[in-house]
Structure 1
Amino acid sequence: MEMRGLTADVMPREVENWLSPHLPRLLEKLDLGAENNRAAELVRGLTPTSNVVVYGDYDVDGISATAIAMELALVRGAHVRYFIPHRFNQGYGLHKEVATTIAKRGCDLVIVVDCGSQDVEAVDTLKKSGIPVIIFDHHLVEGTPACCDTMINPQISGDAAAKKLCATGVIWCWAWQNELLTERQLMRMLDVVALATIADCVSLASSLNRALVREGLKSIRTHTRPGLNILMEQLGIAPSSIDTEDLAMKIIPCLNAAGRLYLADLAVDILFPSKNLASNVGRLIALNRKRRELSSKILEQVDSAEKGEYKYVLTNSDWSVGVLSSVASRICSERNSPVALVAAVGDIMRGTLRMPAGGDAVGVLKKLAPLLNTWGGHRLAAGFSVKSENWDKLRGMMETMLSEVKVVGEKEDLLYWNPLNMDMNTWSEAVALGPFGMENPAPMLYAPYGGQMRVVPLGKTGKHVKVELGSASLLAFGAADMFDSRGDIDGWVYKPRLDTWRNVTSLQFILEKMVVQEQ
């Protein structure tokens, strides 16, 4: 428990609260910030004659928050439309031209989720037309926030737990505190809260976030939405044993692929009952397959590029903007250095910036703001756009700034544990520390090399291998080349994982790193 910030001298009650966070109690003391009674009054006032527009964002947090906002209006019989901007043509945020269109068409309420806090002009356009506006957001606010009827953004004045919520978590917790739906209805909606919490990489060291994900996984296992159920079936995931790794590695990439390569509307649509669910799920899976192909191509181009003037700010006219963020995250992780990937969309350059521990993506973009068209994000991940005429100047300045980033070496906490001594019962006890994710990683285990090893090919591609260590084995995905050029091996860093196939659950050991002696 010391790895989780809890030591032997703390009270048993604190340990119990950490291991089994009580969601209602956490929600009772949660402070989301500014007075939000006005927002609750506006939603409670909706009737079957009301027209509502929900404005969201194109990532999983955005589409999940959009789904909850729509459900809050639909349960009151209101007519609901939603709008999510196009990632390439429009980019992040509440756009003034869209606000103008909404104002001309008219409606009774606009609910903005996962954006809007800094979109002063767009909100002002809606307000001048007499349309009430509610904003649910979790992004940091630079300068004066937009002036709407009510804004629920914990970053402005919420407590520590509230500041760690994703946007979907914010609107769900607000709905719970204001009793806008029955407890049963709200608990069933936690499936998308779990998705958004994992997708947005918010802290799972937070007891509240862990409780939301834990209950959300229960919702997915027992009575999730039909569209998600079909998606899990197509991906070969057994709902009864789904975990955060399944969400992060399989489901979330499919949902994100819609906004990256097509329209996020496709992902929103599978969160609601429809005759086209199976077809839409098939399209999502196909888009994700295409995303993987494009990502692999970009990675190859980055790896094979000659060392030129630019090491950190990279661009290519053939790159697809929609896949840059996931590729940048992978490069940043593998190199442990900052990276910005940028592609051209007409006369606008759109980019994504990723930072390792110790960096500050928003801080960099803030200094470059006079040259940027749009920008926003978090400390370790942010997006931006710049007019082509400013690109050369901005690229040089950003390259210099990223080259000066002082990367903080991350200490790894490992438990000395031979896989021969790990069984399902023992690992099931460790799983009580979960759900695992950002700032609450799954325990990583270390075992010394005992001199016995046999490397066996795994799969059809030749990229994967199984490392047989006597009666135990490690699965090494994408690591075949590592064994071709290995040095003297000291040991293995691995992670246990429960895998269910055809209703049979087994314990697997996944190789994370091979420890070798320095040459």
Structure 2
Amino acid sequence: MENGIIKGCFQDWKVAHVEEKSVKELCDYFKIPYWVSRFLINRGISSPPATEKFLYPSLDKLPTPEIFPGIGIAAERIRKAITFNQPVAVYGDYDVDGITGTTILTDFLRFAGARVQPVLPNRFEHGYGLNARIIDELALLGVKLLITVDCGITNVREVDYASKLGIDTIVTDHHRPGPDLPKALAVINPHLIFENQHNLEADNPGYLAGVSVAFYLMIYLRKHFRETNFWKHKVEPNLKKYLDLVALGTIADQVPITGINRILTKFGLPVLERSEKPGVKALLQLCKLTNKKISVWDVGFLLAPRINAAGRMGVEHLALELLMHDDTSKAQRIALELDRLNQKRQHCEEKILKEALDMIENPVHCLKEASALVLANDDWHRGIIGIVASRIVDRFGKPAILLAKNEGYWEGSARSVSSFDIFKALTQCKDTLEKFGGHRMAAGLRVSPDNLNAFVESFNRIASETIPSTGIRKQITIDSKLALRDITPQTMEFIDKLSPYGLGNPRPVFLLESFIVRDLRVLKDKHLMLYIEQNGKSMRALGFNLVEDPAKLPNSFRYLAFYPVYNHWEGNTYLELRILDFC
């Protein structure tokens, strides 16, 4: 170990340093195990109030919706639209976050008596955000109020255009504002909270998902309608029924599972498990998740990709129909179609990945020594390149931008490593770009062919200031040492209590040392299985895709980086280790 870093076979292990006095104080105060105290402190949770809030989350502990500037004005305008029977459009994004937000807001407003039309742009025909042609169509339909979900914050011209057509706009979005805010009737965005002097997790101001911003508007609307006696002829809706889609959209958008997001996800996943929505039930059945405990992984890798496949393949309306349909048989048919689209997406993704890797490996392009990877191909599918960019970042440890041709321009998706703010980098290159938008880890951009070389040169220069040509080696943080004797059902209860896990709240990772390997097997030429023993206790340890060459496996193991799991097999349940790395 050097400077708190263990060089694993595949990753660097950072052994978190914490003050033992602080660890002991939390242990004594809350009567929690040593490793739990370390876990909390590693995530910046060290005071009794913060620990209390984390260990015992509650919907009652959510900040009130009044923290959002403009939300009162928005509520009053929505009430007016319902009262005077004015047509309303809810305009969302075509990804899971936007579709779930559009679904819950549309359903809530319809229950309240509004004439609502949900609208999603087509990725290829209309692009991201508000579109003038769609606004024209809405004006012809007599729409007087337009409410955006997960988009709109940078659509200054489009909001002005809607206003000229007699349409008021309420923007709900979680993306970073540009230099000028749209002149909407109200702009509800977590980034604007700081202008109102509310400290909403200052280290991550844009952490809410778009669906959560829409949900907060619904919380305020229900309260506003109550105070104005609007519900006198209706039963007030229980907003908890929407938490399944709030959790789904939040997880899919890969926002940090901290603060408000953690509370909404913590209480939303159980609602998702027992959801009565026909579309959700059909998806759960398709993914073999019916009557099972659903994890963040299940949402991110099983449910969300099937919903996202609709927008990626240009049939976003299918995903919206799935979530809004009340017909079980129709929902099941749509779910099967989304599954087929997802398989088609996977095939296309593998093709693009292979072509991208061939470009990187080709010495003619001199890409392997670059600090960032910018790749362009006329024939790439614009709905898929973002996923491939993420996989390239994961493989090479460098920011990646993939571009495809559209109407004479290069348009694409940018993805980054945690240490490199890709939105900031694009801002520094703005003179070479037609447009761009996004956040620290992901962005979209458009560049003219004439400026492509200048952009690539500028972007690579910026990346080279912080990213070595070899890329950033993956790193995992070790929360604590853990002996085999301490891996018990009680430990697993605490692991469950600290969930849900994701960005900002990673699963606890433990260090195992001073153990004996009783048996070593390689499964399917790539998976590592060990039977280990420590102080008389034995356990199986399994590491997926950790064997590149069986002949190069070490003769002995000093450390394992792992987390414990329950393995359910042939009616039996037992504890085992899931190996992340070894040395």
User: What TM-score do the two structures reach when normalised by structure 1?
Assistant: 0.89
Distance 2:243 2:567 in 1: 24
- CA deviation string 1:359-383 (max 9, x = no partner): 1111121122233233111111111
SS at match of 2:109: helix
Q: Which moved more, 1:88-97 or 1:373-382?
A: 88-97
Distance 2:313 2:381 in 1: 8
Distance 2:43 2:311 in 1: 43
What is the CA-CA distance between 1:499 and the residue it aligns to? 5.8
Matches within 5 A, 1:84-483: 84-158=120-194, 159=198, 160-161=200-201, 163-179=206-222, 185-206=238-259, 208-272=260-324, 273-274=326-327, 275-304=329-358, 305-307=361-363, 308-310=365-367, 311=370, 312-406=373-467, 412-419=477-484, 421-448=486-513, 450-457=516-523, 464=527, 466-469=529-532, 471-481=538-548, 483=550
- CA deviation string 1:341-376 (max 9, x = no partner): 122234221211112122111112112223323311
What is the CA-CA distance between 1:418 and the residue it aligns to? 4.3
CA contact (8 A) 2:105 2:218 kept: no
CA contact (8 A) 2:38 2:480 kept: no
SS at match of 2:558: strand
State yes or no: 1:32 paired with 2:67: yes
What is the CA-CA distance between 1:96 and the residue it aligns to? 2.6
CA contact (8 A) 1:99 1:123 kept: no
What one-letter code is carried by the residue in structure 2 that aligns with 1:255? I
Unaligned 5+ residue runs, structure 2? Answer: 1-36, 226-234
Residues 184/210 of structure 1: CA separation in 2 closer, same or farther (3 Å cut):
farther
What is the CA-CA distance between 1:153 and the residue it aligns to? 0.9
2:563 to 495, 499, 512: 495
What is the CA-CA distance between 1:104 and the residue it aligns to? 3.5
Distance 1:8 1:375 in 2: 33
CA contact (8 A) 2:39 2:480 kept: no
Unaligned 5+ residue runs, structure 1? Answer: none
What one-letter code is carried by the residue in structure 2 that aligns with 1:376? G
- CA deviation string 1:151-181 (max 9, x = no partner): 1112123532474211111121222133258
CA contact (8 A) 1:238 1:503 kept: no
What is the CA-CA distance between 1:500 and the residue it aligns to? 6.0
Q: Which moved more, 1:301-310 or 1:422-431?
A: 301-310
Distance 1:434 1:166 in 2: 18
CA contact (8 A) 1:456 1:468 kept: no
What is the CA-CA distance between 1:83 and the residue it aligns to? 2.2
What is the CA-CA distance between 1:320 and the residue it aligns to? 1.9
What is the CA-CA distance between 1:211 and the residue it aligns to? 0.9
Q: CA-atom RMSD, angstroms? A: 2.9
Distance 1:485 1:202 in 2: 38
What is the CA-CA distance between 1:484 and the residue it aligns to? 4.8
What one-letter code is carried by the residue in structure 2 that aligns with 1:70? T
Distance 1:437 1:300 in 2: 28
Distance 1:183 1:450 in 2: 61
Q: Relative contact order: is structure 1 or structure 2 higher (C-alpha 8 Å, sep ≥ 6)?
A: 2
Q: Which moved more, 1:94-103 or 1:212-221?
A: 94-103
SS at match of 2:578: strand
What one-letter code is carried by the residue in structure 1 that aligns with 2:192? I
What is the CA-CA distance between 1:498 and the residue it aligns to? 4.3
What is the CA-CA distance between 1:12 and the residue it aligns to? 4.4
What one-letter code is carried by the residue in structure 1 that aligns with 2:263? A
What one-letter code is carried by the residue in structure 2 that aligns with 1:34? P
Residues 6/302 of structure 1: CA separation in 2 closer, same or farther (3 Å cut):
closer
What one-letter code is carried by the residue in structure 1 that aligns with 2:559? G
- CA deviation string 1:302-338 (max 9, x = no partner): 3343132334112233422222222222222332221
- CA deviation string 1:79-123 (max 9, x = no partner): 332222222343222123322332333313211111111211111
What is the CA-CA distance between 1:11 and the residue it aligns to? 5.7
**Aligned sequence identity (%):** 28
CA contact (8 A) 2:414 2:443 kept: yes
CA contact (8 A) 2:517 2:530 kept: no
SS at match of 1:447: strand
Distance 2:446 2:44 in 1: 50
SS at match of 2:174: coil
Distance 1:132 1:306 in 2: 53
State yes or no: 1:79 paired with 2:115: yes
Distance 2:393 2:88 in 1: 41
Please tell me whether Structure 1 or Structure 2 has the larger radius of gyration of its CA atoms: 2
What is the CA-CA distance between 1:456 and the residue it aligns to? 4.2
State yes or no: 1:42 paired with 2:77: yes
User: What TM-score do the two structures reach when normalised by structure 2?
Assistant: 0.80
CA contact (8 A) 1:114 1:167 kept: yes
What one-letter code is carried by the residue in structure 2 that aligns with 1:87? R
CA contact (8 A) 2:523 2:529 kept: yes
Distance 1:421 1:203 in 2: 29
SS at match of 2:518: coil
Residues 509/259 of structure 1: CA separation in 2 closer, same or farther (3 Å cut):
farther
